[in-house]
Amino acid sequence: MKLRRSITAIAFCLAAMPVRAGDGPVRLYAPPVLVETGVFQYVLPRFSLKTQVRVELVEDPGAAQVVLGDDGRALFRGAGATWRLARPGGGENAERFADWLRSEIGQRTLLAYAPEGTPLFDPPPETEEEVAEVVIDGDAVLGLEVSRRACARCHAVEDAGRKKGIGSTPSFSVLRAFADWEERFGAFYVLNPHPAFTRIAEVTAPFPIDRPSPIAPVDMTIEELEAVMAYVARLRPADLGAPIRAQEF
């Protein structure tokens, strides 16, 4: 009798213990149009057979741990949409199921579903990498003034002064035609020969005592450098012609 009471008490305690999220079946939501394709009758048993984790479809997305719909990472496309994976709920098993869907094996399983002999789903479309447009802030009018003062001794900084620069140095319009012109201007003070005679306030170190500037130093602030870049950004790039093509003889 005492043994029966002990067993009953243990059973009651076990029933009252909370179940960990990772121990129960994974709650999956998908819109009816996707469910009606029958893909889950094909996919879910294969996942469960491999992992011993059961997945059940639920009708309420708010109760789901894994959701296939419009939000999240693109998983596959078909049945009139690109289906994305979101995991709003926690749980080890839910994480395991989501990882499997994203894995190579999971993807192969999804894409192999062919109820009438033809695969119903395709990989998601490749997304083009967005190139952020660089916006250069600065006073272009001030930039021209600074360019005339600090750069015109060597470079032709404008069309009107094209013949005033040193012939061996490229004009601003030629430099503007280079694909990396922003890097060239933004860090010009560390590109030879500029470090020997250029000082950017609060950026560059003083000239070494034993190596003073060989010419009158070019002094500039960061704000003035930004203004120069704003001015150069508005210049029309020089026409350098077609790239040189090597020919085999």
CA distance 92 to 220: 58
Q: Which region, left, alpha or beta, applies to residue 90 given φ > 0 means left and ψ of -120 to 50 means alpha?
A: beta
Architecture (CATH level 2) of domain 20-111: 3-Layer(aba) Sandwich (3.40)
Q: What is the pLDDT of residues 200-235, one digit of tens each?
A: 999 999 999 999 999 999 999 999 999 999 999 999
* Residue 121 pLDDT > 50: yes
Q: For 219-247, b where at least 16 C-beta lie within 10 A, e where not — what string?
A: ebeeebbbbbbbbbbebeeeeeeeeeeee
Contacts of 225 (CB under 8 A, 6+ apart): 185, 186, 200
pTM, entire model: 0.46
- pLDDT-based confidence at residue 128 (cuts at 50, 70, 90): very low
- SS3 (DSSP) at 60: coil
